[in-house]
Amino acid sequence: MEMLKAERLNKFYGSLLVTDNISLELAKGARHAVIGPNGAGKTTLFNLLTGEVKTDSGRVLIDGRDVSKKSPNQRAKAGLGRSFQKNNLFMELTALENLTTACAVSVELGRVFWRPFDSVSEIKEAAESIAEQVDLLSVLDIPVHHLSYGHQRQLEVGLALATQPKVLMLDEPTSGMSPEETTIMLNLISALPSSLTILIIEHDMDVVFGVTDRITVLDYGSVLVEGTLDEVRSSDIVRQRYLGDASS
């Protein structure tokens, strides 16, 4: 059974067809990338999958469960976690406070007698475990607005992991990063549990070929090509439009 399945997703904005019968199937543990030029429909596809935008037609299933009519929060509870292209962080809180808040929300724990979440031992332990996964143990007590951009992006992934997702969706996780920060993020993604299904939008083809095993290429809102890394790399039309002759 597919861990994430999209069936013929269509979305119109007025007369403009933004996604045209897009279908995806990701098995448990898949590493799948969505690529394409700006305006190809990549972020709209992510928004349709998470429920941020309602589809005009089509279905979304998470671990066999039809969530097409569910809210973003309900889809998150069903196992869909997402990081965003732009940081979605509590900038005045520390990295640890961000993570403990996310962990507490995930298990629907409210503040107890006004105690902060990081005073609850099991929540703090869960947050520290995630911090270790995303290589942030050394900066946990630093307010987010003082963190480097790379550390903020790592924290964004950590917040998505705090929801205990079955499927992790990463929207341009290396956008704006230096080469060194990109390498750290690539290694971080590569080290995530093999049982976790990952769907990623990414422009950096070194990252795409480094952490995924299958690629969907979007063009004008529809699927141009889908296949393994070798199949996409050897596609004449993909090479001509996106990869360049050097990738052949």
Query: What integer is the mean pLDDT of 37-58?
Result: 94
Output the pLDDT for position 112. 47
Contacts of 160 by beta carbon, 8 Å cutoff, 6+ apart: 81, 82, 83, 168, 169, 170
pLDDT reported for residue 106: 78
Where are the alpha helices (H) located in 107-178, listed in sequence order?
A: 121-133, 149-162
More confident residue, 108 or 40: 40
- Which pLDDT score is estimated for 1? 73
Quickly state the pLDDT bin for 214 (edges 50, 70, 90): very high
For the chain, report the end-to-end CA distance as a whole number of angstroms.
34
Residue 245 has pLDDT above 90, yes or no: no
- The DSSP H or E segment spanning 91 is none
Model confidence at 38, pLDDT cuts 50, 70, 90, reads confident
Instruction: For residues 126-148, give the mean pLDDT.
Output: 96
| HSE of 93, CA atoms in CB hemisphere, 13 A | 15
Tell me which H or E stretch contains 145.
none
Q: Which residues of 31-57 are buried (b: 16+ CB within 10 A; e: fewer)?
A: bbbbbbeeebbbbbbbbbbbbebebee
Domains and CATH numbers, the chain: 2-247 (3.40.50.300)
pLDDT bracket for residue 92 (50, 70, 90): very high
- Spatial distance between the Cα atoms of 207 and 106, rounded to a whole number of angstroms: 29
